[in-house]
Amino acid sequence: MIGILLAILFIIILILAANVRIVPQASAYVIERLGGYDTTWGVGLHFKIPFLDRVAKKVNLKEQVVDFPPQPVITKDNVTMQIDTVVFFQITDPKMFAYGVDNPIMAIEKLTATTLRNIIGEMELDQTLTSREIINTNMRSALDVATDPWGIKVNRVELKNIIPPEAIRNAMEKQMKAERERREAILRAEGEKKSTILVAEGQKESAILEAEAEKQAAILRAEAEKERRIREAEGQAEAIRVVQMANAEGIKYLKDAGADEAVLTIKKLEAFEKASNGNATKIIIPSEIQGVAGLAKSVGEILK
């Protein structure tokens, strides 16, 4: 009898232990009682009634990321391309998530593809390739509104890849190559232009420096010539001064020696004789000197 009681007690303990639940952080359990929704358990220790309650769904409250495969879309200018998206979402209401839609992830995928086709269908190819941020914002807004009844909040949507047709890609590559070649040609032309300008400026500076050097050399030559002429003139003046002083000394000596008027007249004639050796073509002799010419001749013969 005691054994049966112990067995029953052991079974009861096992049943009670099996109905104890610990809900971890960032999780929620949806509990049903007799097949209907009863409550939602948050983080902590919980106990469910055996055979009446059951955990209908375990919900992850963390932000989740779903990467959907490429979807075919058609642009406004009838270009078919492949676009794959990444959706970041978070469950905000475990009850609505559990009972709002069957297979929520598939529902989000189908909704994402439909919304993407609607947005891209209103845009041309070039606009699609350059408007990722606009597409992301529009898709996030549309998905967030559509998934709200499911207890899901869409935090962010990103276009992962935009894959145009091969012909379009080839044309885009050629266009990019032509654009790069054009930029390269522009840069090369600008470089040559700057090089030519620098060479011309260098030649200009060189010519200016050469002209300045020639100017300075001419100034120095002119100053040297001027100095030479001044010194030559000073030398001639000094020679004349010395000659005059010598003549004056000679006359002084004659006077000191008691020379008479006749001797002085002879000196004057000698001076005229020297003057006649120059470039003059005519010499005018004063009358007083003519009168004593004979006397000078006689004195000259006596001195000989």
Q: Is residue 229 part of a domain?
A: no
pLDDT at position 289, please? 47
**68 shares a domain with 55:** no
State whether 42 and 93 are in the same domain: no
Render pLDDT for 220-253 as a digit per residue (tens, 0 to 9). Answer: 888 888 888 888 888 888 888 877 787 777 767 6
Last residue of a domain, one of 148, 164, 180: 164
Cβ distance 121 to 76 under 8 Å?
yes
Q: What's CA 186's distance to the chain center, in Å?
A: 16
Does 8 share its domain with 33? Answer: yes
Residues 56 and 71 both lie in one domain: no
Q: Is residue 44 part of a domain?
A: yes
Residue 271 included in any domain: yes
Provide the residue range defining the domain that includes 19.
2-60
Residue 152 shares a structural domain with residue 85: yes
Residues 23 and 47 in one domain: yes
Unique residue bearing structure tokens 């003549």: 247
Residue 276: predicted pLDDT:
52
pLDDT per residue as tens digits for the range 185-216: 898 888 888 988 988 888 898 889 888 888 88
Among 15, 36, 60, give the residue marking a domain's end. Answer: 60
Show which of 43, 60, 77 is a domain's final residue. Answer: 60
Q: 277 lies in a domain?
A: yes
- Residue 83 counted as domain residue: yes
Whether 28 and 72 map to the same domain: the answer is no
Q: Could you tell me if residue 91 is inside a domain? A: yes
CB 62 within 8 A of CB 88: no
Number of domains observed in the structure of the chain: 3
Q: Is residue 169 part of a domain?
A: no
Residue 159 and residue 112 share a domain: yes
| C-alpha to C-alpha distance for 159 and 21, rounded to whole angstroms | 40
Q: What are the phi and psi torsion angles at 19 (to 5°)?
A: -100, 5
CB 135, CB 128: distance < 8 Å: yes
Tell me, yes or no, whether 70 and 160 share the same domain. Answer: yes
Residues 98, 154, single domain; the answer is yes
Tell me if 119 sits within 8 A of 138, measured CB to CB: yes
Are both 92 and 130 inside the same structural domain?
yes
For residues 89 and 104, give the distance between their C-alpha atoms in angstroms, rounded to a whole number: 11
Provide the CATH number for the domain around residue 151: 3.30.479.30
DSSP string for residues in 47-70: E--TTTEEEEEEEE-S-EEEEPPP
Q: pLDDT 10s digit of each residue in the chain, 304 long?
A: 777 878 888 887 888 777 888 899 999 999 999 888 999 999 999 988 888 889 999 999 999 999 988 888 988 888 888 998 999 999 999 999 999 888 888 999 999 999 999 999 898 888 888 888 999 999 999 999 999 999 999 999 999 888 888 887 777 778 788 888 888 889 888 888 898 898 888 889 888 988 888 888 889 888 888 888 888 888 888 888 877 787 777 767 666 665 555 555 655 556 555 545 545 445 455 555 444 445 444 444 444 4
Q: CA separation (Å) from 24 to 33, 47, 95? A: 22, 14, 17
**Paired tokens of 109:** 């995928």
Alpha helices in the chain, H assignment, sequence order: 2-18, 94-100, 104-120, 125-130, 132-147, 166-256, 261-276, 287-291, 293-303
Q: What's this model's pTM, rounded to 2 decimal places? A: 0.55
**Residues 16, 54 within the same domain:** yes
The pLDDT of residue 292 is: 45
In a domain, 212, yes or no: no
